[in-house]
Each structure stands twice: as structure tokens, then as C-alpha cells.
């Protein structure tokens, strides 16, 4: 690979979008903190730098800054939104609190009359009001300098977000920066990633066995597929079926992986998990009990195996970027299979997906022959349906929810443009209904469907009435224990995606 583009993070929510877009243009990218030193950058020797947006105002004390020596390294820099404001401010220009902030799609007019005006996503209060020496404005909106450049120093700024799909030609702007300004070669390919990881895994594991907790989620599944390609016969996958999977899911996982060159162990532990959850209604208590029981079962199964010195995990690049970036308050204790190495003693941990974004993991899964149903799977919480059954979890309630969820997924699955996540929730409310000539008193199912980019926030999806109607009539007629279907129309915040 002949070059890396560094994406310096100044707190914008778009850093992964930018880095992902760069990679999708066949140029390798990495995300680094905004305060990385010029010395470190010199060591990495990137082909170009992109500075992200962020929620701060440059003239406020304590707002993030890059190392000022960066601008003199001769490496091309593109500053986006806050990145442009910071660059202009640090180089002697002026940034002012915007009298008229711009939010949403705004018409941008290039100074060069040969180029057409275009709509671009803006999201800013402040704006650059005087450019530093050497800079020229290259585009404007009605109220701000929308783009600027100092060609001599290869410094570029855009006030809008070219990484957003709401900016017309945004991808082309990034592409032009990469190829025309940075001269980056288009040589980043997922096939190369597979080759280097296969070699790395082989070198690390040699002839030893590797253990993987396979949940059936996208990351652990792709991890299993990659490992079985690298070290066929040395991989042991333990699939702890806690009984909270969706309809048919456990069997699908078994079908897919028992065909591959690995040892697949399915542990049917539904009874054990349900026994532990008896009488427990509190959501956090349920999550903790399931997390702990999961580790105990995994530990017991691993102990039975004997000689398995390595542990593999499906950690992906955003997990690493996020854990270095500090977290806000814990809203829910997310139960994942991470954290296992603290419990069991292993000689080493193998994380072959640690350099990839989620889209790349999906693409890799396809290249490795995993079925689409697995690779394009929606996010699914570790504790599974146990946190979609409100209150105490029982086998009967799980069966009702599984059937309702299957209907909902089938109906929404037929839509051309689907929400990003959709599922059914079994509420702990019963309501009166009438079926035939009889009064019923049965369960209420809630429909949850959201659109989101990052799952940190979301909007409820406005499902067409026809789809909602079909979901409701099918669930109430096909599942006798349900008397009513309601639609959750809450965004996040204030609600979360999951109900518990």
C-alpha cells in the first residue's frame, strides 16, 4: 500500500463516515485523535490529512486544536466544518459566531462560474469571516465562505460535509482531494486484507488451536469464516444458545458453520438461562444475569476442550476507535462476548477484523462465502429476546414474541427501502379484545422500527399504513395469545432503540 489518509478526529459524529468513504474509494485510511503530534504524523508519513467537524467553537478556551506544526509539513490537508474553521483560525484568519447558522441542505455557489451551484449539507453556527493570508475563497453560500484553499501550501477547507450523502457530489470532492491533491494511489483492496490476515493468523497460531465464541452476529461469523480459511481444522467455535435467538436463527447458525472446516459446538442452554431469570423483572438485573451465565457456560465448555491456547474475538475498528475516545455515561450495560480473556487464561488473543469498518466486515463476509442473511443481519443485542420480553421472561412469552417478530420481519422485509432496525416487543400489559363472539384478555405486542446512521440517536421509521395494517392483522390472527398491536413512535433520545 503506497499511502495512508489520516482522519483527525475533532469530535464530529462523521469521522467513521469520512474514513469509510476514503476506503471505499480504494485508499487506506485510519482515524487518529485530533491532538496527534506532528512528530507522530511524520513517522506515519500519510499521503494526506482530513480534519473532521466537531461541536466546538474555535475561539472558546479549551476547544480542540491540532499541532500547529502540521500545516508546515507539506502534507495536503482538507479541513471539514470545524476542521476548516480551526485551520483558518490557527493560521491568522477570523472565525465569528454565526449571526445566521446554517443547518440542512444549502445552495453552494463556486466562485468559478464554469462550475454549477450544488446543494450541500451544512451544520454550523460559526463561520470563517476573514481568510488567512495565502487563502482564497472558492465557493460561497448566501451567508458564509463555503470553501477555501491555499494551493501553494496544499491546504483546503469546506464548511459543508462532503462525507454526507445529502451533499451533491460530496464523494467526488473527497475523491478529487485524494487523487488530484494528495496523489493517493487506488490500491487498498479487501482481498489484500484477507491475504495479510491469513498470513498473520497462521504465523500467530502456528499449529495451535484457536477458540471463538460464535454468537451468530456479523462480526463473530465473519471472524469464524476468516479463521477457518487461515487455519482449517484448528478453529473451535462455541455457540452458546441461550434460547433468546429469533425464529430459526440458532439452527441457521448451526447449518452454516457445521459445513465449514472448523469444530462447531452448540450448547443448548435455554433451560439454564430461564431458571436463572425466574422471577427477575428488572432490565439491568436481566442483562447482568445473562452476561454472567453466558461466561460461566462458555468457561465450562472451554475447560472441557483442553488444549486451546488462543482466543479469537470479532473486535472491529470502530470498537477500537471508540474505546480510545472515552465514553459517556453507561445507559445500558451492553452484554457482548468481549471481556472473556479476563476470565480465562489464554496465550494470546487474535482479532483479525480489528482494522475494518462494519461495511467492510460485511463485504469480507460475502467474499468468504457467508450467506447474505447472516452478513446483512440487523444489530441484535447480546441478551437477545430476553430484553424484548418486558418483565419476567418465560418460555411461553418467548414463543409468542418469536412468532410475532417473525411476522413483522417478513412484512417489513418486503419493503424496498427498509428501516435500519425493526423488531417486535412483548409488553407486560394485557388488554381486552374480542375474537369471534368471545372476550379475550391477552398480550400487547409493540412494533419498533427505526432509521439511524450510528444507533447513538435514531428516528422512529414512518412505516406505511398498509404495512402496519398487515403486521397487525397477521399477528392478531396468527398468534392467539395476542389481542392488540401498538406502534412505538418515539425517537432516541428520549427513548432508546430497545425497550429494556
Residues that bind ligand XMP in the complex, under the rule CB under 6 A: 331-332, 334-336, 379, 381-383, 421, 455, 492, 496-498
Q: Cα(138)–Cα(128) distance, rounded to whole angstroms? A: 13
Has 458 been annotated as catalytic?
no
Annotated catalytic residue, options 66, 81, 148, 458: 81
CB 192, min distance to ligand XMP, A = 29
- Shortest spacing between CB 355 and ligand XMP, in angstroms: 20
C-alpha cell at 146: 463555503
Q: Minimum distance from CB of 214 to ligand XMP (Å)?
A: 14
Do residues 353 and 226 lie in contact, with contact meaning Cβ atoms separated by under 8 Å? Answer: yes
Between 182 and 337, whose beta carbon lies closer to ligand XMP? 337
What's the closest the beta carbon of residue 101 comes to ligand XMP, in angstroms?
28
Provide the b/e sequence for 171-210 (b: ≥16 CB within 10 Å). bebbbebbeebbebeeebebeebbeebbeebeebbeeebb
Count the alpha carbons within 13 Å of 176 in the hemisphere toward its beta carbon: 8
Q: Running DSSP on this structure, what letter comes out for residue 458?
A: B
Judged by DSSP in three states, 238 sits in: strand
CB of 331 to ligand XMP, least distance (A): 6
Q: Smallest gap, in angstroms, from Cβ of residue 377 to ligand XMP?
A: 11
Of 30, 352, 92, the closest CA to residue 222 belongs to 352
Question: Chain centroid to CA 298: how far?
Answer: 26
Rounded least distance, CB 380 to ligand XMP, Å: 6
Query: Which among 26, 24, 47, 50 has a CA at the least distance from the CA of 36?
Result: 50
Whether 57 contacts 63, CB under 8 Å: yes
Indicate the residue among 58 and 450 with the shorter CB distance to ligand XMP.
450
Residue 347 or 359 with smaller CB distance to ligand XMP: 359
User: 191 CB contacts (<8 Å, ≥6 apart)?
Assistant: 367
Of 76 and 382, nearer to ligand XMP (C-beta) is 382
How many H helices and E strands in the chain? 14, 20
Is the CB of residue 50 less than 8 Å from the CB of residue 27? Answer: no
Q: Which is nearer to ligand XMP, 177 or 423 (CB)?
A: 423
C-alpha cell at 110: 463556486
Catalytic annotation, pick one of 16, 102, 149, 163: 163
- Residue closer to ligand XMP (CB basis): 103 or 455: 455
Is 161 designated active site? yes
Residue closer to ligand XMP, measured from CB, 235 or 497: 497
327 classed as catalytic: no
For residue 142, CA distances in Å to 78, 82, 117 come to 22, 19, 12
Q: Which of 124, 161, 242, 335 is catalytic?
A: 161
Positions marked catalytic: 81, 161, 163
Amino acid at each position: 500500500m503506497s499511502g495512508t489518509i489520516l482522519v483527525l478526529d475533532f469530535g464530529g459524529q462523521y469521522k467513521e463516515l469520512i474514513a469509510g468513504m476514503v476506503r471505499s474509494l480504494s485508499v487506506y485510511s485510519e482515524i487518529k485523535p485530533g491532538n496527534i503530534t506532528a512528530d507522530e504524523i511524520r513517522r506515519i508519513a500519510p499521503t494526506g490529512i482530513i480534519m473532521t467537524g466537531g461541536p466546538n467553537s474555535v475561539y472558546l478556551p479549551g476547544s480542540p486544536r491540532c499541532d500547529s506544526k502540521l500545516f508546515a509539513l507539506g502534507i495536503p490537508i482538507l479541513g471539514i466544518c470545524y476542521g476548516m474553521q480551526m485551520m483558518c483560525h490557527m493560521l491568522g484568519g477570523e472565525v465569528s459566531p454565526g449571526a445566521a447558522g446554517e443547518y440542512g441542505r444549502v445552495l453552494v455557489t463556486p466562485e468559478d462560474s464554469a462550475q454549477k451551484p450544488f446543494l450541500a449539507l451544512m451544520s454550523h453556527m460559526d463561520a470563517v469571516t476573514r481568510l488567512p493570508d495565502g487563502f482564497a475563497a472558492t465557493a460561497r453560500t448566501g451567508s458564509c465562505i463555503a470553501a477555501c484553499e491555499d494551493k501553494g501550501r496544499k491546504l483546503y477547507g469546506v464548511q459543508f460535509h462532503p462525507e454526507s450523502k445529502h451533499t451533491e457530489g460530496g464523494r467526488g470532492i473527497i475523491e478529487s482531494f485524494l487523487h488530484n491533491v494528495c496523489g493517493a494511489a487506488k490500491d487498498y483492496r479487501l482481498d489484500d486484507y484477507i491475504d495479510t490476515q491469513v498470513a498473520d493468523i497462521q504465523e500467530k497460531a502456528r499449529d495451535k488451536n484457536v477458540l471463538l465464541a460464535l454468537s451468530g452476529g456479523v462480526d463473530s461469523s465473519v471472524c469464524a469464516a476468516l479463521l477457518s480459511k487461515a487455519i482449517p481444522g484448528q478453529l473451535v467455535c462455541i455457540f452458546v444458545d441461550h434460547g433468546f435467538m429469533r425464529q430459526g436463527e440458532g439452527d441457521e447458525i448451526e447449518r452454516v458453520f457445521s459445513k465449514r472446516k472448523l469444530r462447531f459446538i452448540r450448547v443448548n442452554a435455554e433451560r439454564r438461562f430461564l431458571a436463572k431469570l425466574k422471577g427477575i423483572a428488572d432490565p439491568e438485573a436481566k442483562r447482568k444475569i445473562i452476561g454472567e451465565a453466558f461466561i460461566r457456560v462458555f468457561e465450562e465448555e472451554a475447560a472441557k476442550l483442553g488444549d486451546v491456547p488462543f482466543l479469537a474475538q470479532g473486535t472491529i475498528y470502530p470498537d477500537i476507535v471508540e474505546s480510545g475516545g472515552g465514553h459517556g455515561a453507561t445507559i445500558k450495560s451492553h452484554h457482548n462476548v468481549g471481556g472473556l480473556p479476563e476470565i480465562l487464561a489464554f496465550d494470546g488473543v487474535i482479532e483479525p477484523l480489528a482494522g475494518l469498518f462494519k461495511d467492510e466486515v460485511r463485504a469480507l463476509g460475502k467474499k468468504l462465502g457467508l450467506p447474505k442473511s447472516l452478513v446483512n443481519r440487523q444489530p441484535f443485542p447480546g441478551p437477545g429476546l430476553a430484553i424484548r420480553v418486558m418483565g419476567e421472561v418465560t418460555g411461553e412469552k418467548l414463543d409468542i414474541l418469536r412468532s410475532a417478530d417473525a411476522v413483522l420481519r417478513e412484512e417489513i422485509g418486503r419493503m424496498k427501502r427498509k428501516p435500519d432496525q425493526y423488531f417486535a416487543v412483548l409488553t407486560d400489559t394485557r388488554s381486552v379484545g374480542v375474537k369471534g363472539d368471545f372476550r379475550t384478555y391477552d398480550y400487547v405486542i409493540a412494533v419498533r422500527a427505526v432509521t439511524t446512521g450510528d444507533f447513538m440517536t435514531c428516528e422512529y421509521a414512518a412505516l406505511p399504513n398498509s404495512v402496519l395494517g398487515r403486521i397487525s392483522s397477521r399477528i392478531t390472527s396468527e398468534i392467539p395469545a395476542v389481542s392488540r398491536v401498538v406502534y412505538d413512535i418515539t425517537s432516541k433520545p428520549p427513548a432508546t432503540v430497545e425497550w429494556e
